[in-house]
Amino acid sequence: RGKVLVFLNNDPQDDPQLFAGRRRLYYGRWDYKYEIAARLGAAGALIVHSTESAGYPYQVVQTSWSGEAFELATASGPRSEINGWLTEGAASQLVELAGQDLTQLQAAAQKRDFQPVPLGVTLTLELNNHIRQQTTANVLGILPGSDPQLKAEHVVFTAHHDHLGLAAARDERGDNIYNGAIDNASGTASLLCIARALASLPERPRRSILFAFVGAEEQGLLGSEHLAQQPPFPAGYMAAVLNLDGINFLGKTHDVNLIGNGKSNLDGLVERVAQWQGRTVVPDYFPDRGYYYRSDQFSLAKVGVPGVYLHGGINVRGQADGWGKQQLDAWLENQYHQPSDEYDPNWNLQGAVEDAQLMMHVGLIVADQDGMPQWNAGDEFEAARQAALQQR
């Protein structure tokens, strides 16, 4: 209590029976660590960043944390006075002041019997904050269902419509506008197309469908968090959430990358539609990056709603093995959360169309089947679902 805690990012990954091995869980997320530090009464929390442990380079931390930071006006609970990030280089210098070695501490922290190490270092910090109120909006549209008994239940589609605004300095191209073409104008456009297609069906689905274009995702999923906490109807009436965040710009793929696979029986529906498309569903290619906890379906999952989040695969039709991953890695390194995330006329959007069709058909199956999807037994969100259903 009253101390500044220095955390490693992620969770121990050496033991596949502990914390799901290399698959990141919510408990390895930076926001969970800040939450725990606040609960313990810590004065501050600093997370040691590495590209491997975070799943993204430090430039993403810089662009996400160097500007204004927002939280919901209704946010409550304990708060530390300061939360922040350290590069491994800065963290190494910090622990050296205490006669410690960062590499040795990192190795020790992987063991179950590890105990916090007092550094005997005092942090003196002065902050000058300017607090202002900012209003944004979630834009919701509902397609009413046709079944008298089931229309009170809703299939929820989400896509965030915000990005990062303006950079403090221009990049090497003289650009300081964060356009967010892939992240997430593309997902917003896909959801508009899905909404138009579903609204034009000759017969409406049995369940209602909620189209939610949420704001402030880049500020910590705030729009979807507000939707989850102040919903137009209780979470027990949400059958499932299907989230669109980024599109496949490489072309049609042989595979579908299902993020958060193994969590609910929605997996089987995704596999059914993918097979109809002539594609194969593969588990999350990057389980260590924790993508399931980094987009808007997570906010609704926390209140119990089973969710699907997928990306087009990386096995691109007509391209050599490894080409797709190479292209995605390059985009992550050079465009993700950068002003250079702009529309490119050379994109091949056929795969994006195929992925949007997959999500639409999964949503239709959920809307028309008798029962609602469920989390798999023992999943971290199963208890929240049971509580939500009991409150109907």
- Domain map of the chain by residue range? 4-108, 139-390
Using only C-alpha atoms, the chain has a radius of gyration, in whole angstroms, of 22
Q: What is the pLDDT of residue 17?
A: 65
Q: Which two tokens stand for residue 371?
A: 């029962």
Length of the chain counted residue by residue: 392
Task: Determine the average pLDDT of the residues in 232-237.
Answer: 97
- Work out the pLDDT band at 24, boundaries 50, 70, 90: confident
Number of continuous H segments (helices) and E segments (strands) in the chain: 12, 12
Mean pLDDT lowest for which of 5-19, 25-39, 160-174? 5-19
pLDDT at 63 over 90: no
Class of domain 139-390: alpha beta
Q: Which two tokens stand for residue 126?
A: 């002065």
Predicted model pTM:
0.87
Q: Return d(Cα 214, Cα 226) in angstroms, integer.
A: 9
Q: What is the pLDDT of residue 203?
A: 96
HSE-up (13 A, CA, CB side) for residue 50? 15
Q: Which two tokens stand for residue 52?
A: 């491997």
pLDDT at 52 over 90: no
pLDDT at 65 over 70: yes
Q: What is the pLDDT of residue 15?
A: 63
Q: How far is CA 11 from the centre of its chain?
A: 17
DSSP type of residue 297: H
Closest to 45 in 3D by CA, of 84, 97, 91? 84
Cα dihedral sign, 217-45-48-20: negative
Helix ranges, 4-155 (H): 30-39, 51-54, 58-65, 88-96, 102-108
